[in-house]
Amino acid sequence: MFLTTRLYLLSTIFLLAACGDWRSAPLPFPTPAQHDLVVLVRPGPLTHDGEEGSVVGRLERDLAEAFAEELGVSVRYKIVDPAGLDEAIADGRYHLAAAWLSPLPEQGIAATPPLFMTRDVLAQHEASLPLTQPEQLTGKTVHVMAGSRQAATLRQLAASVPDITVVEVSQGTILDLLERLGERQIEYVVMDGQLEDMANQYVPSLRTSLRLSEEQPIVWLLGPHPNSELATRANAFVERIHSDGTLARLVERYFGHVRRLRQTDITKFLGEIETTLPKLLGYFLAAEAVSGLDWRLIAAVAYQESHWDPNATSYTNVRGIMMLTEETADRLGVSNRLDAGESILAGARYINILRDMLPDEVKEPDRTWLALAAYNIGPGHMNGARTFAKQLEADPNAWYDMKRILPLLAKPDYYKRLKAGRARGGEAVILVENIRSYYDILSRNKTVPMAAKQPFNEMSGMSGISTKPRL
C-alpha cells in the first residue's frame, strides 16, 4: 500500500512537470462540495480592504462574490502585498486575479473580457501650476503606489523624459498618498483615473490635468494555465453583467453619489468636522447606542438637514438639528425640537422606523437610502413612488432605479394619482446622495476623535451601514 501510494505521487509529480511548472497547473473547477473559488487580491479602495475574513465591500470584491454566487461556491481570498503581486500572478495558484489589473498577454496570462476602461493620470494640488505635457515632469519628483500599473507607466515615461524621480510607496493606500498631496507634503501622484471623483471627496484640493496613458481595460486574470471550464463561465459572466445592468448597478452603488458635492461644500464640511462636530459627538454616539445606526450616518443626516445647527428652522416650521416636523416630534415624544440631544435621538429612531416600514426584500444599503429619501418626502410618497416603479418595470427595492422614479412625484401626470399629492422627489434624491458623500468623508476623516472611530470602510456606500441590534 505504501509503495503504491509513493508510486502514485511520483507519477503525478512527473505528469505535472511534463506539463510545465507544477506550481502553475490549473486549480480544480470550484464546486460546492469540494473547492472554493480562489481569488487573488491586493488591498486597495476598489479591490479589497486587506483584512483576512473581512466582509467590507469593494467594487471588484463584490463582483467576485457575485460570480461565486453564480457558481454556487464560496470565495477564498489570497491577499498579497504590491511587492509580491507579480510573482503571485505568475505562480498561477488562483482561479481569478481580481486586483484592478490590465491584461498581461506578453506574459502568457489569460484574461476575461474588460470589466472597465480606465487610464493613468497625474494628480497635483490645485494651487500648483498645472502640468499639461509629460516633458514638464523633467526634474520633478512623482509618487506612485508600488506594484501598480501606474508605477509601470512612470518607468516607461522615465525612459523618454529625463531626470524624473519616481518614488514607489509600498505602505498605506493610494488615498493615504493623495492626502499627503492635499497637505502639500508631496507634489505629484500618478493614480488611476477611476478614483478621481471618489478621492475628491477626501482631498478637495486635488486636481488632474495630465493624462499619462491611453484608455486601458481592467480585467480578471485567469492565470498562465486557466481552468478551461472556469474561463468559459467567467467570460460569460462578464459579458452578462455588462448587458443586464448588473455592473451599472454596482458601479452606481460605489460611485453614483460622488459627483454631487461641490469643492466649496466639501471644504466647509471638513471645517465643521474640526470645529462643530466635537461639541455634538456625544449626542451622535448616544443615538448610535440606542438605535444601532452608525453614528457617522446619523451625523451625515444631521449635517445635510441643518449643517449641525440645533436652532435651524425652515419656512415650513421644520425645526432642530434633525429638522423634525411637529407631527414627527410629537409621535416620538420630543418635548423640545431645538434640544440637540432630543432631536438627534428622535431622528435616528425615525430613520429606523422608516427602514422597518420597507418590505423584507429590500436589502442594505438600498434599504437605508430609501429610508432616507422617505425621511425627506414622507413614507406615503415613498410608497407611491414604489408603486410607480412597479408600473414602469423598474425595481422598487433598488436605489439605482428609484433615483430615476422619485423625481416623477413632481410631475402632474404622476402626483395627481397620489393621495398624498405632489412631492419634490428630485430633492430627496439629492439629499440622499449628499448624505452618502458626507458619510464617506466622516468614515475616513482623520480629525474625528479616535475614541469614536470605527474600522475604516473607504467605500461605506456598499456595506458600511450598521445593522447592530436596536435597544
Domains of the chain: 15-116+218-255 (3.40.190.10), 120-213 (3.40.190.10), 263-463 (1.10.530.10)
| CA 377/CA 381 separation, integer angstroms | 6
* Segment 269-276 mean pLDDT: 94
Instruction: Work out whether strand 75-79 and strand 96-101 pair parallel, antiparallel, or are unpaired.
Output: unpaired
User: What backbone torsions phi and psi does residue 202 show, to the nearest 5 degrees?
Assistant: -95, -30
Confidence bin at 434 (pLDDT 50/70/90): very high
Confidence bin at 55 (pLDDT 50/70/90): low
Q: Which residues pair with 79 in a beta bridge?
A: 41
Report pLDDT for 51. 80
Segment 225-270, tens digit of pLDDT: 898 999 999 999 999 999 998 999 888 888 888 777 888 999 999 9
Segment 277-317, tens digit of pLDDT: 999 999 999 999 999 999 999 999 999 999 999 999 987 78
pLDDT reading at 26 higher than 50: yes
Would you please indicate which residues are annotated as catalytic (active-site) residues?
Answer: 305
User: What backbone torsions phi and psi does residue 100 show, to the nearest 5 degrees?
Assistant: 55, 60
Confidence bin at 24 (pLDDT 50/70/90): low
Using the CB atoms, write b or e for 171-205: b if 16+ within 10 Å: eebbbebbbebbeeebebbbbbbbbbebbbbbbbb
Report pLDDT for 421. 87
* Segment 408-412 mean pLDDT: 89
Q: Select the more confidently predicted residue: 321 or 423.
A: 321
Percent of the chain with pLDDT over 70: 89
Q: Which of 226, 196, 228, 223 is nearest to 209 (CA)?
A: 196
pLDDT reading at 22 higher than 60: no
Report pLDDT for 377. 92
* Segment 108-114 mean pLDDT: 94
Q: How many helices (H) and strands (E) does the chain have?
A: 19, 11
Q: Select the more confidently predicted residue: 368 or 15.
A: 368
Q: Select the more confidently predicted residue: 131 or 170.
A: 131
- HSE (side-chain half, CA atoms, 13 Å) at 168: 13
Strands (E), 104-192: 110-111, 116-118, 120-125, 141-145, 165-169, 188-192
Segment 446-456, tens digit of pLDDT: 666 544 544 33
Confidence bin at 82 (pLDDT 50/70/90): confident
Report pLDDT for 145. 92
